[in-house]
Structure 1
Amino acid sequence: MDKFKTIALFMSTIETGSFSATAKKHATDPSTVSKAIKRLEDQLGLQLLYRSTRQLSLTSAGQKYADTVGSLYQQLESCEHELKSANNSYSGALKINLPVSYGRVYMLPMLSQFKKAYPDIQLDVSFNDQYVDMISNAVDVSIRSGTLNDSRLVAQKLSPMTFVICASSDLVTTQKIDVTNEGLVVFPWVLFRFKQTGKTMPINFNYQGRHINVEPKMVTIVDDGEAMVKMCAEGLGLCLMPHFNAKALVVAGKMKVVAKLDEFPNSGVFIVYPKRKDLPKRTQVFIEFVKGYLNEIGESSSKTWLDTSVNPR
């Protein structure tokens, strides 16, 4: 039995005046209580209680010990109660890390709804496409795309990570676009540059079981996802982008999906949180709120809006 539990039994015995009443309070038996306090006395080398058939009473050493540990015990109990209450309430700080484009396009509208529903949860939101160590940075929840390999984290899939080739509505109307190496290389492209590496996203994918790798001759390069999509819609070229970047302008009719690419193995969009026994209520409710919101806009672990809104080639 740990020291804290033993002290709890000792303090309860002082309060109740008997081993049997203490045993009932702690859902154990009087013998266990008596033995625990006897072990405490043996560890201290002091007698804490006078025992008689009628009553228990404190020795002078027992009184001094009770005065000292009693205060500490009450502080610990109060601290535990506050921590448990905070963990089990829809309040407190929630630190969230979001990828830039997905966060702006999908999560910003949702965050305002969540805050209205749970005003006592304090949101601390960062937008970052670089790798963030959730443990060392004390991040409660993160949304990540691609593949995940970290045994310290739990990941729930929010949706597939579907990529599409898009073009402006005018371009699709006026020109035939063949989704082949030869058909795609003749068009200008808007390419995305990763800020962390300086490299551009390659036009390298599988489409309807065929591998395609294009090295475009005419390119516009940009390192911002929203700007990339708008440039594509304005007719600067074809563009390879994730489904969440494409949605708004496709739905608005300013851009068309030319091709929905084959899924990359083991990829997806995930909501991620550190592995722990007792997940705070504020974290649990945020995860469920995100999943519910995505379901309302046509996304789930097995589909994206593309599967219901458009019929790409």
Structure 2
Amino acid sequence: MDKLRTLEIFLATCDGGSFASAAKSCNTDPSTVSKAVSRLENQLGLTLFQRSTRQIRITLAGERYAQTVRKMFQDLSACEDELKESNEVPKGILRISSAVCYGHLYLRPMLKDFCQRYPDIQLDLEMNDLHVDIIEQDIDIALRTGYLKDSRLVAKQLSPMDFLVCASPVYLKKHGIPKCVEDFSSHDWIGFRIKQTGQLQPIFLPDKSGQYIPCELPRTHITDDGEAMANMCIDGFGVAQLPHFLAKKALKERKLISLFPYYRPPQQDSGVFVIYPKREFMPARVRVFIEFLNESLRTMGEGHNYTWVQDWQHEVSF
């Protein structure tokens, strides 16, 4: 018999004043109750009840022990109620880890509306491009461009990650418009170094049939910061292949020109993902945040299998 069950029987005996009464309230028989109490007394090395042929009477040690056990059950019940409520009501601290650029450009502008909708949720926001162990770091949600497969985690795609070959109008006026892969040998290229691996992000350009192929091109300039890469492109340092969330604002403001139709990597793990620990009961603060993310992205023309880029008409005239 487990300890909690034994303690329940002990309290029932205290409250009922007899083994028979305790047996009735615990849905068992008096013999089982008597044995459970005796076993508890042997474990403690104390006499909890004085027994006679006609009645049992709790001892001073038994009364003191009963007070402690009763308080323990009350605290346990209160804790369970609080945890159930926190799982059902959106409140508490929500710990978020986001990829840096996506966090600044997409996530941060959403947060004011989220906090206004859920004022009882407090945010703990970390911007980090490294794939941290979110379970070890006690993180509720991570937003990542790509993910590492981990059986402890759930990864749901918020959107694909579409790439656009971009250059500034000033750069194109000075250096001309590249029409095909061969033209890029005479152009400056801005490369992106992936922090996680230290490798350069591959470049994919369309061949004559329009199919995207990997291209080995020298990078004139290199950075490991996405926003720096986009701004260098805007400033005329060269051509860059930018993910949709980095290119969006500059394209709409015509600070950048899209040279080719978008490229979408075929790998299933190349999109933007929301990642969280696998658990049977998801806290309400996590559930409503994921719902809010998807809702906000839909208003921006994005979903788990599309981005705004699909409706964007690339052009090179200016």
Normalising to structure 1: TM-score of the pair? 0.82
Q: Deviations over 1:227-276 (max 9, x none)?
A: 21122123221101211111111111221222312423122111011111
Q: Which residue of 2 aligns with 1:154?
A: 154
Q: Which runs of 5+ in 1 are unaligned?
A: 24-29
Displacement of 1:4 after TM fit?
Answer: 2.2
Q: Which residue of 1 aligns with 2:266?
A: 264
> What pairs up with 1:1-313 in 2 under 5 angstroms?
2-8=2-8, 10-11=10-11, 14-15=14-15, 18=21, 22=25, 30-31=27-28, 37-38=33-34, 40-44=36-40, 59-60=58-59, 63-171=63-171, 175-180=176-181, 182-195=182-195, 198-204=198-204, 208-216=210-218, 219-259=220-260, 260-266=262-268, 267-311=270-314
2:9 and 2:36 in contact (8 A); partners too? no
Matched residue pairs, number? 302
1:49 and 1:56 in contact (8 A); partners too? no
CA distance in 2, matches of 1:138, 1:288: 21
Task: Answer 1 or 2: which has greater strand percent.
Answer: 1
Q: Which runs of 5+ in 2 are unaligned?
A: none
CA distance in 2, matches of 1:203, 1:58: 84
Displacement of 1:160 after TM fit?
Answer: 0.7
CA distance in 2, matches of 1:303, 1:9: 60
CA distance in 2, matches of 1:244, 1:63: 67
2:155 and 2:276 in contact (8 A); partners too? yes
Displacement of 1:20 after TM fit?
Answer: 8.5
CA distance in 1, matches of 2:36, 2:205: 69
Compute the RMSD of aligned alpha carbons.
3.2
Identity of aligned residues (%): 38
Query: Could you say if the C-alpha distance between residues 21 and 296 of structure 1 is closer, same or farther in structure 2, counting changes exceeding 3 Å?
Result: farther
User: Aligned partner of 2:185: which letter?
Assistant: V
Query: Could you say if the C-alpha distance between residues 121 and 106 of structure 1 is closer, same or farther in structure 2, counting changes exceeding 3 Å?
Result: same
Displacement of 1:59 after TM fit?
Answer: 3.6
Query: Could you say if the C-alpha distance between residues 189 and 8 of structure 1 is closer, same or farther in structure 2, counting changes exceeding 3 Å?
Result: same
User: Aligned partner of 1:86: which letter?
Assistant: S
2:131 and 2:196 in contact (8 A); partners too? no
Query: Could you say if the C-alpha distance between residues 109 and 9 of structure 1 is closer, same or farther in structure 2, counting changes exceeding 3 Å?
Result: farther
CA distance in 2, matches of 1:12, 1:154: 44
CA distance in 2, matches of 1:294, 1:76: 41
Query: Helix, strand or coil: the match of 2:155?
Result: strand
CA distance in 2, matches of 1:145, 1:167: 23
CA distance in 1, matches of 2:230, 2:31: 73
1:160 and 1:269 in contact (8 A); partners too? yes
Displacement of 1:9 after TM fit?
Answer: 5.4
Displacement of 1:178 after TM fit?
Answer: 2.0
CA distance in 1, matches of 2:9, 2:81: 18
CA distance in 2, matches of 1:152, 1:70: 37
User: Aligned partner of 2:214: which letter?
Assistant: I
2:121 and 2:285 in contact (8 A); partners too? yes
